[in-house]
Amino acid sequence: MTDTPMKLVVNCETGEQTLEPLTAEEIAEMEAQAVEAEARRAAEEEANQIKAELKASAIAKLTALGLTEEEATAFASN
């Protein structure tokens, strides 16, 4: 087995299927896409964390004003 990533090439006219190694350009593109996907995932995770912190802050402020935690949570969830 080879460490080189492979691609499946299908000839639609004959139905013949062959496995071919990816070119250096295709490997570079695949790696760039992986880096991009990781960056998107990290940004989404950070946005979710910020949203959770803002919600917790809002609940704390609302409870400081006299609302129960359940009321504050319900209000902050909207």
12-68 pLDDT, tens digit per residue, is 999 999 999 999 999 999 999 999 999 999 999 999 999 999 999 999 999 999 999
Query: Assign residue 60 a region: left if phi > 0, alpha if psi is -120 to 50, beta otherwise?
Result: alpha
Taking phi first (over 0 means left), then psi (-120 to 50 degrees means alpha), and beta for anything else, what does residue 39 get? alpha
CA dist 25 and 28 (Å) reads 5
Mean pLDDT of the chain: 94
pTM score > 0.75 for this model? no
For the chain, domain boundaries: 6-76
Report the C-alpha gap between 9 and 46 in whole angstroms. Answer: 39
